[in-house]
Chain A
Amino acid sequence: MARYAMAIDLSSCVGCAACAVACKLENEVPPGASRLWIRLEESGTFPDLAMQYRPEQCMQCADPPCVGVCPTGASHVNDDGIVLVDAETCIACGACIAACPYGARYFDERGFVGKCTFCEHRLAEGRVPACVETCPTLCRSFGDLDDANSDVSRAIRAAHRVEVLKPEQGTHPKLVYLDAPARFGLTREGVLR
């Protein structure tokens, strides 16, 4: 059993969207839906302008609100702490889509709800998620939070700032952002260590 997590170093993300493309191809995500997207935020007054790329996806919450509302148990957390949807028992009611504070779920036209799985099928083969493998700036770190030597644990230790989105929701995301050049909704509260 592991406690898989991901860290994204925003100081080195260049917004190339290679992760989004890799995810789409790897997981056959249907048109019009995304498991992963890039947010570009700009603000300020010249010459004090700020700009930041931020990849967003399922936050793999430690306390996921999408799981409790599922009427069939299709939405569940596996032994490695990954929030998954069992397509066989999903009735596509959309309750989990309504519950997700991050907009990370979508209706898959094949009759179930889709979301990021941390590429569970690749983990089973000893590989990292497609977005991690593809990133040309190596801004994504992945691994077991309980292993002090994992990439993600080392990246978090080395970071100046570790932040999450929407901590007020009490979801305790296992996807954290490192060293963001600007705030744009990020906060240090609610970071899972």
Chain B
Amino acid sequence: MTSDAVTTFYGAVNDGAFWHWPTLVHFFLVALAGGVALLVAYRALGRDRLGWRLPALSVGLVALDMVVLWAESLARWRLTHVYLFLSIRPASAIWWGAWGLAGSAVLGLLLAFGWGPRRLWGALLAVTSTMALLYPGLALAANSARPLWTPLLLAFMPVTGLLLAWGLALLFRQSDLRPAVGVLGLAGALLGGLYLVGLATGGLAAREGLAHLWHEGGTLFVAALAAMLLGPALLRRYPAVAGVLVVSGAVLARTLLVEIGAFMPPLS
């Protein structure tokens, strides 16, 4: 009789999914909120008329994101989220994200109502919205026990987050964003490719992670990268199609990385 190692358990092992679909929605909304807020900051720092609609939209997206997070939280009726703002936890990505989103909401409101110095608010909003865009990658890359959440996500997540938001803006005729969307699409595809190469050439855990990613959604991940790569090529002639492609690619890649990326290799 022969056998490979066989593992069985007495008692439930806490190795199931811990972030479910509301978290995936949050990762979509936080990118949208951060990206639109950064767009507001960009417009506020310029000389053109800003208007109230875009800042109000950015505030609305932050609010929607907060509602989703609140609704899915087990602690929603205990109001413990106030401790996010009563503590100083600079080692925590979520703490930075909370302050980034809260700051973006306040500054967005000030800009929507036209109160105070527009350029100063724009500069501060550029900082807070960047914090909101950076935090998901920080939150994932901090988990060294999970080989699919590599440090490369520190770049991949903000790039795809901004691509998602500004690609969507293309559908609303923000045509001056075309060059930026082109660069972001190429950067996203390149970073995604580097991510796969990094896993393939990494240690045992990284290769096990890659095998898991490939088994669970490798084809979809490659398709997502292809969409991000193809979108910029169509920007000039078919900007709406390009927008749909890059947004789809960014959303799909981020979703796969969050959902499948929670993988932890079994003990050997």
Contact = CB atoms under 8 A, between A and B. Distances in A.
A95 interface: yes
Interface stretch (B9-17, B117-125, B156-164, B176-184): B9-17
Interface residues of B, number: 48
B144 A169 contact: yes
Nearest to B11: A37
Nearest to A53: B10
Nearest to B205: A168
Contact of B83 (A33, A89, A97, A166): A89
B237 interface: no
A98 B262 contact: yes
Contacts of A107: 18, 74
B201 interface: no
B51 to A, nearest CB: 34
B146 A71 contact: no
Interface residues of A, number: 55
Nearest to B142: A69
A38 B75 CA distance: 30
Given A45-B3, A94-B19, A100 B73 contact: no
B8 to A, nearest CB: 5
B38 interface: no
B173 interface: no
Contacts of B23: 94
Contacts of B144: 65, 101, 169
A165 B264 CA distance: 14
B88 to A, nearest CB: 9
Given A99-B143, A101-B264, A185-B267, A91 B80 contact: yes
A95 B136 CA distance: 11
A43 B10 contact: no
Nearest to B92: A71
A168 to B, nearest CB: 8
Contacts of A33: 12, 14
B150 to A, nearest CB: 14
Contacts of A95: 92-94, 139, 142
Given A90-B80, A107-B74, A112-B74, A46 B1 contact: yes
Contacts of B93: 69, 71, 95
B71 interface: no
B105 to A, nearest CB: 17
Interface string B132-144: 0000000110111
Contact of B9 (A39, A43, A112): A39
A93 B93 CA distance: 12
Interface in A110-159: 110-112
A50 to B, nearest CB: 9
Interface of B: 1-15, 18-19, 23, 73-78, 80-81, 83-84, 86-87, 89, 91-95, 98, 139-140, 142-146, 262, 264, 267-268
Given A44-B3, A73-B89, A111-B73, 11 more contacts: A17-B11, A37-B10, A39-B7, A42-B5, A49-B3, A68-B92, A90-B80, A91-B80, A95-B92, A103-B13, A184-B267
15 contacts: A33-B14, A34-B11, A34-B14, A39-B8, A40-B8, A41-B7, A45-B2, A65-B145, A71-B92, A72-B80, A73-B89, A95-B94, A98-B140, A110-B74, A111-B80
